Amino acid sequence: MTAFVCAPPTPLAPRRTLAAVLLAALLGQPTIAVRAQEGPQLNLQRVELTAGMHRIDAQVAASPQERQTGLMHRKDMPQHEGMLFVFEQPAQQCFWMKNTLLPLTAAFVDDDGTIVNLADMKPQTLDSHCSAKPVRYVLEMNQGWFAKKNIKAGAKLTGAPFSRK
């Protein structure tokens, strides 16, 4: 799946992190190691959404780690499944496809379930795909799913996340 980013990482970023951990260890300071997910996350909570008459079984990526890993490393995904990214507050959300093997379409979704814009994303690229306005939700589906169902910007998704007041 995709990872939420504002800018592509620099090649030195992993080294800086390792250097900071080593320096803290040498100075006797406690450190918290966060290991990046190396395989697909398949056991996230799920929510049922609908787009018109079409049912979507969506995994929910709500924590920063879940959102960062997203659909990375997945080799396949059933056509009726997707991943719903849930953020704490509306903001411009930007996604990329690092370590993501599947071509995906991201639907940037307003609080009421209205699709603001759609973005087709190529696998294993660092191109940014952003929401046209601040949103709290992003739904990723297999590329072509929205087009095959004739679902476009302005269409409404329904389900528990969009029922909140």
The structure tokens listed for 165 are 């007041």
Domain segments of the chain as ranges: 3-162
* d(C-alpha 165, C-alpha 156), whole Å: 16
Class assignment of domain 3-162? mainly beta
Q: Residue 35 contacts by C-beta under 8 Å, 6 or more apart in sequence?
A: none
Q: What is the pLDDT of residues 66-118, one digit of tens each?
A: 999 999 999 999 999 999 999 999 999 999 999 999 999 999 999 999 999 99
Instruction: Please provide the DSSP assignment of 58-102 as one string.
Output: EEEE-SHHHHHHTTTT-S---TTEEEEEEEEEEE--EEE-TT--S
Render pLDDT for 19-46 as a digit per residue (tens, 0 to 9).
344 444 444 444 444 444 567 888 899 9
